[in-house]
Amino acid sequence: MTTAAETSSAGGRTLRKAVIPEPPRRHWLLSVLWSARVWLLLVATMAAWQAVTTLLDIPRYLLPSPASVIAEFVETPWFIVQAFLVTMLESVAGFAIAAVIAFGLAVLMSRSAVVEDFVYPYLNIVRVMPIVAIVPLLIIWFGHGMTPMIIVAALIAFFPIVVNTILGLRSVDPDLVDLMRTLNASERQILRKIRVPNALPYVLSAFRISAPGAVIGALVGEFVGGARGLGYLLVTAHGRIDTSSVFLMVVLSVLLGLVFFGLVVAIERRALRWHPSTLINGQTVRS
C-alpha cells in the first residue's frame, strides 16, 4: 500500500516526497449493496407499506396493499405490458423529436440575433401554454392515435433542451474561438470542435429534465383523449373506483420515468467522463 510520504537521501540530507494515497477499496459485498441501494430502499418501502395496510386493516378502496397491486398486474399482465409499451414509445418518440428540433433551433438562435428575436417569443408561448388545453385540438387534427401524445411529449421536453443548448453554445471561452479563427477554421469547424463539446454538459443536463417530462406529456395526452397507454388505463380505473389499478398505473408510470431518467444519467456519465461535473476528488461520480 502506498504511504502518504516517501523518504530519500541526497547529499546527506533527508528529502520527503509526498505521494497521493490510493483510495480505499470497498469490499465486494458493500459495492453490491451500494449499487443496489435504490432498489433496496424501494423494497423496504414496499415492505413498510404492506405492514401498514395489514396491521391497520385499511380498506382496499382507500389504500390497497402492494400484494393487491401486484395481483392486479398478474390478472392481465400482457394487456398492461402493452399499455406500458405504448406510453414508452410515445415518450421516447416525443423526446427524440424534441431533442433534434431543439438542438437545431438552438444552433440557429445562438448564431443569429435576428432568428433569436423572431423565435424566442414563440418559445415563451409554448412554455406558458397549458398543454392540457391544446390536447383536444391535437386530437381533432390528428385523431386518437399516438400522434397527439407524441406531440404533447415533445412540447413538454422541448423548452429545457433549447434553452440549455443555447447557453452551452454561447458559454465558450472567446480565446478558444479566436485561436481557431487564427488557424483559418470555418464556423462549421468551430461549431463542431469547440461549441458543441462545450455545450454537451448543458444539453445532457437538460435531458435529465426533459426525459421524465416527456413521460408526463405522454400521460397527460392519454388522460385527455387517449385510447391506449397507461394514462388511459389510469383514467378508466379511476372511473371504476378501482384503487388497486390506479396504484398500479401510477407505479408503472413512475417506473418508466425512473428508467428513462437513469438511461440519460448513464449516457451522461459515459459521455462526460472528462468533465469536472462527473468528478469528485479526481474520481468519477457513480449514481
Domains of the chain, first to last: 77-284 (1.10.3720.10)
Residues 6+ apart with CB under 8 A from 218: 87, 90, 91, 94, 149, 150, 152, 153, 229, 231
pTM of the model: 0.78
> Which residues of the chain register pLDDT less than 50?
1-6, 280-282, 284-287
Q: Which residues pair with 16 in a beta bridge?
A: 7
What is the H or E stretch that residue 280 is in? strand 279-280
Q: What is the pLDDT of residue 224?
A: 83
Q: What is the pLDDT of residue 280?
A: 45
Contact 196, 161 (CB under 8 A): no
CA-to-CA dists, residue 111 to 62, 102, 168, 181, angstroms: 56, 14, 12, 16
Q: What is the pLDDT of residue 19?
A: 58
Cell triple for 181: 479563427
Q: What is the pLDDT of residue 278?
A: 57
Q: What is the pLDDT of residue 282?
A: 45
Contact 260, 84 (CB under 8 A): no
The separation between CA 8 and the C-alpha centre of its own chain, rounded to angstroms, equals 52
Q: What is the pLDDT of residue 191?
A: 83
Q: Where are the alpha helices (DSSP H) in the chain?
A: 28-35, 37-55, 66-75, 77-111, 113-128, 131-142, 147-170, 174-182, 187-190, 196-225, 230-239, 243-271
